[in-house]
Chain A
Amino acid sequence: MRVWRAWTALWAEREHPVSLGLVRIGLGLCVLVDALVVRGLGLVHPLFGPELEGGLVGAAPWVESLGPGNVHGVLTLAALGLTVGCFTRTSALILLGVWAQLGVAAPFADRAVDLLARDVLAVLALSGAGAWASVDAAWSTGSLWGDGRPVGAWARRLIVAQLALLYGGAGLTKVDASWWPWGGASALFVVLQDPAVTRTSFAFLRDGGWRLTQVATVVTVVWQLLWPLVVVWMALGWTRFRRLGDRLHAVWLAVGLAFHLTLAATMELGLFPWCMMALYPALIAPRHLRR
């Protein structure tokens, strides 16, 4: 019973909305920029349009009847609404719904990062993410920054749990021997030889630089596998080991940012590295951000 009471108290805690607000803005910006790039490159019809009008795989009937440009326009507006915090919950729900259905209509275009972002959108839609740096806050309190009234910390903690699941799961599913020392730790070298996902040719790594990729391979696997410990470290933040927890936390964040910035610089994975970094403010408790 005592455990359940502590568990209940954990999810009932309230905090300043700054961390959730930053996640909302970051994720909204990622989706908005992606949507504008797709429109700018003229890819809306090829991706979501009917074959007779230039679609590459054929549209879902409902997208065809509403018009792919209109459906994508609603997605873009919802992403804008989420970013600026205008009707935040409604914008998040519309974005989630339209994005999910475009994913059903064109499953080949729906990648893991789309799934992840929608998971987080579902949390944001129910949270107080619009209570800071938003039009909603300006309307309800007269200040863009809101009145500082605390919101449920459960949403931020769920996003942290989502990150731990994602990274931990990704580490556990690395079944190929090339990810491990006994397989030569050549996985990242092999990945960097795939022209479909790299920004430039990394053939030069065969001349000696590959040893660096071995180190990076091991660091990646260890870092991902240990992610569930982040939850433990966050828990340390609520105990007398707070200082140790904060330090480990900072190291983990720094490695994560370096990992995703390197991915963004070397590989063409679309939204993935940017969406992941957009979720990182959830790892920082408002007491740190406001210090």
Chain B
Amino acid sequence: MDNARALVITVVLLVHGALAVGIGGGPVRAVLRWTGTGQSWAMFAVPDRTPRTLEIHAEVDGDWVPVFVKNVVDHPVIGPRVRDRRIRALYDSAPESGSPGWWNFSRWVGRLALQGDPRATRVRVRVVEGVTTDPWLPADPTATVLLERIHGRAALLAEDGL
């Protein structure tokens, strides 16, 4: 019994050790995929020097008013939801060409913004990419709009009866 246990543990350690340093896989990967286990770690291996900021603005009387801008303007309903690590992936990892997940996200979060302000006629959801330079260099103010969707209240109203 002790020998069998030690043997199984040895195999498990060898397989996971190999996976941790990126060696092997093959048939093991299928089992790992279905059990949702494995050794796939990369904790900020390459820090992101072009970080993204989620910005949500509502159009009120012809002006774009900030509703939520990450780390600048908070919103009691939108803030806790878009901060969720799973929801974050929909805008922070979305391809620049957009994706169905991003489009659905923009409608969903747009609805939340419009629900909070009956004066708003449109909502603009966008992801802006900045540039982070090393701290001993001057800051780079470059900001590029990567993703942008504008939704009218009427269009969202047709979907949800806002």
Residue positions of A touching B, CB distance < 8 A: 4, 7-12, 37-38, 41-43, 46-47, 51, 54-58, 96-97, 99-101, 103-104, 106, 108-112, 114-116, 118-119, 122, 152, 154, 158, 161-162, 165-166, 168-170, 172-176, 178, 184, 186-191, 193-201, 205-206, 210, 213, 268-271
Contact = CB atoms under 8 A, between A and B. Distances in A.
* Closest A-B pairs by Cβ, 5 of them: A100-B36, A270-B85, A109-B86, A210-B135, A194-B51
A109 B132 contact: no
Given A8-B6, A110-B36, A115-B36, A46 B87 contact: yes
Interface of B: 2-3, 5-6, 9-10, 12-13, 16-17, 20-21, 33-49, 51-54, 70-72, 80-81, 83-90, 92-93, 100-101, 104-105, 108, 130, 132, 134-136, 139
Contacts of A119: 16, 37-39
Nearest to A107: B89
Contact of A186 (B81, B108, B134): B134
B134 A184 contact: yes
B159 to A, nearest CB: 10
Contacts of B92: 196
Contacts of B35: 96-97, 100, 118, 122
A140 B84 CA distance: 40
Given A166-B41, A178-B47, A196-B51, A103 B36 contact: yes
27 contacts: A41-B81, A43-B86, A55-B104, A56-B105, A96-B36, A100-B34, A100-B36, A111-B85, A112-B42, A116-B41, A118-B36, A168-B20, A169-B21, A169-B41, A173-B42, A178-B134, A186-B135, A190-B47, A190-B49, A194-B47, A195-B52, A195-B71, A196-B53, A198-B71, A268-B83, A270-B85, A270-B86
Contacts of A41: 80-81, 84
B87 A194 contact: no
Nearest to A165: B20
Contact of A154 (B5, B36, B38, B72): B5
Given A168-B20, A173-B41, A174-B45, 11 more contacts: A56-B108, A109-B89, A115-B36, A115-B37, A119-B38, A176-B45, A196-B52, A200-B71, A201-B71, A269-B85, A270-B84
Given A173-B41, A193-B132, A205-B135, A8 B3 contact: yes
A169 B72 contact: no
